[in-house]
């Protein structure tokens, strides 16, 4: 088999890249390890920056988010049992974020690809990359017991943190940066109206962090900071709701509508960056190259901007026969990646209980939160990062 771009991974990054390349007339094949059902079953964050929404529209996949996304003009911060609004739109000349689940984004992209009849191999085992330093790299994999091979000009490694692509960058070239946090998040999805439909709520409590989010007016998503050693089985629905109420302000706590969970899972928090994001004809995008802790919901948005830059660079490569874009891809992405890493790390550090800093750390966080909610300068800094810094930020 032959194609112009072989895309490893059918998460949001791989699917969006495939859609944008196809629109520009560039042939691509996706190779995914899991089944479509498995990919769609993963529950992840659901806050889209305007840049991400625009890109989905650009790719011809905006109708879902346009019909069912909920624009948010505000976020709320809770500390010392009081809730304070941050008027994100007002502080950013009218920008909003849109609540729309990653599961829905993936579903829309998958349907779009299937409708176009583009080639994707799901349940591909033992995916391997060959000759990535040459002009004619290849991808091989096993499907239904048969070994297959794809020749291409470029490879996009969109296979997430545990993927195979990044491992093909030689260890003397790859530099990794990592911070692992000493706690996790337990998340619950429930078919109940969100307690705060117009503002995501971030709560710093001396019992630990809590977050109130949503997927729609009838589906809520809540998270609690928990020890990494906890098992899901230790968290009955009742325990989860009780604990959430204890971490919110009294008003929200009283308004919380509880119901049976339809999904419950514990995830660790990690900051990670791999540099460079290109080696030879291989280009990493999304979680394959970087991970942010979920605080601030930057993961999917960063994946989307990588893909924007990568699609532009690949289109330039094939249509203008120029390597300028692909040569700058890694540097261009990493600037934005590190800005989002900084923001996610900062918001994580501000909102969570850190076992090692004790009550001193808690008081310092509360002082910073107090400063933040009363200072237009600090609120603006939070707001402009939350909605996403402009793509040309720092280029002027």
Give the interface with ligand PHB as residue ranges (CB under 6 A).
45-47, 200, 211, 213, 221, 294-297
Residue recorded with tokens 């934005």: 336
- Spell out the long-range contacts of 364-370 with Cβ–Cβ below 8 A and sequence spacing 24 or more: 365/79, 365/204, 366/79, 366/80, 366/204, 369/77, 369/79, 369/84, 369/204, 370/79
Beta bridge partners of 312: none
Size of the site for ligand APR (CB under 6 A): 29
Q: Which does 8 bind (CB under 5 to 8 A by kind): ligand APR, ligand PHB, none?
A: ligand APR
Q: Residue 305, SS3?
A: helix
Q: Within positions 150 to 189, which residues make up the interface with ligand APR, using CB under 6 A?
A: 158-160, 162-164
Nearer to ligand APR, 96 or 340 (CB): 340
Cβ at position 298, least distance to ligand PHB in Å: 8
Options 100, 137, 294, 309, the catalytic residue: 294
Give dist(CA 52, CA 261) in Å, integer: 29
Q: Which does 39 bind (CB under 5 to 8 A by kind): ligand APR, ligand PHB, none?
A: ligand APR
Binding mask 292-331 for ligand APR (x = CB under 6 A): -------xx--x----------------------------
Give dist(CA 211, CA 225) in Å, integer: 9
Cβ at position 167, least distance to ligand APR in Å: 9
Nearer to ligand PHB, 216 or 295 (CB): 295
Give dist(CA 261, CA 122) in Å, integer: 29
Give dist(CA 141, CA 148) in Å, integer: 5
Nearer to ligand PHB, 209 or 235 (CB): 209
- Residues 12-27: b if buried by 16+ CB within 10 A, e if exposed: bbbbbbbbbbbeeebe
The answer to whether 386 is a known catalytic residue is yes
Helix axes 324-351, 358-374, angle to 10 degrees: 110
The answer to whether 202 is a known catalytic residue is yes
Give dist(CA 199, CA 357) in Å, integer: 29
Binding mask 37-76 for ligand APR (x = CB under 6 A): --x----xx-------------------------------
Give dist(CA 65, CA 67) in Å, integer: 5
Answer yes or no: are the C-beta atoms of 208 and 226 closer than 8 Å.
yes
The answer to whether 181 is a known catalytic residue is no
Query: Of the ranges 10-18, 215-223, 239-247, 318-326, which one interacts with ligand APR (CB under 6 A)?
Result: 10-18
The yes or no reply on residue 9 touching ligand APR (CB under 6 A) is yes
Binding site for ligand APR (CB under 6 A): 8-14, 31-34, 39, 44-45, 102, 124, 127, 158-160, 162-164, 286-288, 299-300, 303
Instruction: List residues with catalytic annotation.
Output: 72, 202, 294, 298, 386
């Amino acid at each position: 088999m032959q194609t112009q771009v072989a895309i490893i991974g059918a998460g949001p990054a791989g699917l969006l890249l495939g859609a944008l390349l196809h629109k520009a007339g560039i042939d691509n094949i996706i190779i995914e390890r899991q089944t479509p059902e498995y990919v769609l079953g993963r529950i992840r964050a659901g806050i889209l920056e305007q840049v991400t929404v625009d890109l989905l529209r650009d790719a011809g996949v905006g109708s879902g988010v346009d019909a069912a996304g909920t624009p948010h003009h505000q976020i709320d911060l809770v500390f010392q049992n009081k809730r304070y609004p941050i008027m994100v739109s007002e502080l950013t000349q009218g920008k909003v974020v849109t609540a729309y689940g990653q599961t829905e984004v993936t579903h829309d992209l998958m349907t779009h690809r299937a409708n176009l009849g583009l080639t994707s191999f799901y349940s591909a085992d033992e995916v391997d990359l060959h000759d990535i330093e040459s002009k004619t790299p290849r991808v091989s994999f096993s499907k239904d017991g048969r070994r297959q091979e794809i020749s291409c000009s470029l490879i996009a490694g969109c296979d997430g943190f545990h993927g195979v692509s990044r491992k093909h960058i030689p260890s003397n070239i790859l530099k990794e940066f990592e911070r692992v946090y000493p706690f996790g998040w337990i998340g619950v999805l429930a078919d109940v109206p969100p307690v705060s439909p117009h503002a995501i709520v971030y709560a710093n409590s001396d019992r630990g962090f809590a977050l109130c989010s949503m997927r729609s007016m009838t589906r809520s998503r809540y998270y609690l900071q928990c020890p990494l050693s906890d098992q899901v089985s230790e968290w009955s629905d009742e325990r989860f709701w009780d604990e959430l109420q204890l971490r919110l302000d009294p008003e929200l706590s009283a308004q919380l509508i509880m119901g049976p969970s339809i999904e419950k899972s514990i995830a660790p928090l990690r900051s990670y960056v791999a540099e460079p994001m290109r080696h030879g004809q291989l280009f990493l995008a999304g979680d394959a190259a970087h991970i942010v802790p979920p605080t601030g919901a930057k993961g999917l948005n960063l994946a989307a901007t990588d893909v924007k830059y990568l699609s532009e660079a690949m289109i330039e490569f094939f249509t203008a026969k120029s390597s300028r874009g692909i040569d700058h891809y890694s540097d261009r992405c990493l600037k934005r990646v590190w800005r989002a890493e900084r923001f996610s790390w900062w918001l994580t550090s501000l909102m969570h209980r850190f076992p090692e800093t004790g009550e001193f750390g808690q008081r310092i966080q509360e002082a910073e939160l107090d400063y933040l909610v009363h200072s237009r300068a600090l609120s603006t800094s939070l707001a402009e990062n939350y909605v996403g810094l402009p793509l040309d930020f720092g280029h002027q």
